[in-house]
Chains A and B, each alone.
Chain A
């Protein structure tokens, strides 16, 4: 829950300005970007995600380092990714 997981913004969702499609550890899902409103989040940007919300923008090097680190910590990260995969939070069309 407390782990920040990096993700790469793939596309913005046209009719839902709070949502972006994001690639997270190979999983594609919708992430709420309302808390980064006004920061011009665009495809190709990297963000740090907590419980389905982007809390900060990071650069690609930090994203890669953070991912490597998370993969190294084992069970806690696997649990978080399992939960994320099972979560179907408001994909476009569902919200």
Chain B
């Protein structure tokens, strides 16, 4: 007799734990692969899963086995022309004997152990140990949106919140509780009738039974008279308003588009902005992106124009900061929105303006934003904008950060530096 069982609906993914153990053990390797991928991939598919390669020797499980050398005798099938005493050349590499080892059963001589990780894992590794600064602090302090949540039941409320099931249950309980005395009496009377019926029949007993039955009837009537539902029974759903942290974020991309910004610098900036965007999507449900570009004056533009149109002219950074501040005030009140600003520039600014930038930042922007990150994409030395910003960093270390990017491969490390967890 055989049992036939359909297991197809049983839990799949039994290996998940083992797989995670594996990823955990080779975290360093995977992180390196992710880093490489971030730096080399095109912007469009930066957030897809990825292939990870680990050198086979790092991953092998050692066992005792024979090395090459010594005398081996192996039997092969498919002899065609060999006769005893024939001498044949040893095949290149490994001396013909290494095939006997059974150390690796899946590597098949590959030098790399390659496997896929999915998008979620990829992002996990990419943003591991990073956090959005000041997120928790801000979350509840200025909460302005509320959510209505259930909080049990009350006995007072408006009719529209009446909970029928609870009310009837309470009524039932009340009726049972209040009729207890009567019902106990009825039970006793019934028992009495039973004993009377058990006795030999007589005139007296019949009469007595009739009397008892009469009494039961009156008691039952009394129970029936009890109100089916009382005002006291009514139960209402209790709803309370609880403040919820805003799950909305807005990200400002501020970039210099003056003549000194070449396309490759803009590409670098774009990569940086995309990383930031991906990172924010992991913390917030809804994200809006505002593009502000500037040369001598600033303008809010769409993405296409932001990255690909070129203008010439001087550079006045404060114009962009002013515009950003205005947009924040108009459309993104800091109570409702988590505001992040990322500014990218080659560090060029009109000399007289940098001081103004500092003022605008300190007075109008930094009080309203969660975090302001400035990256300077330059190979040259820092100019006055950087120096002014350095002063800001000293004052507002919590919300303000700045880093330099020299070449594309710096983007990810710089990003990590800007958002690394602070103890």
Physical interaction between A and B? no
Residues of A within 8 A of B (CB): none
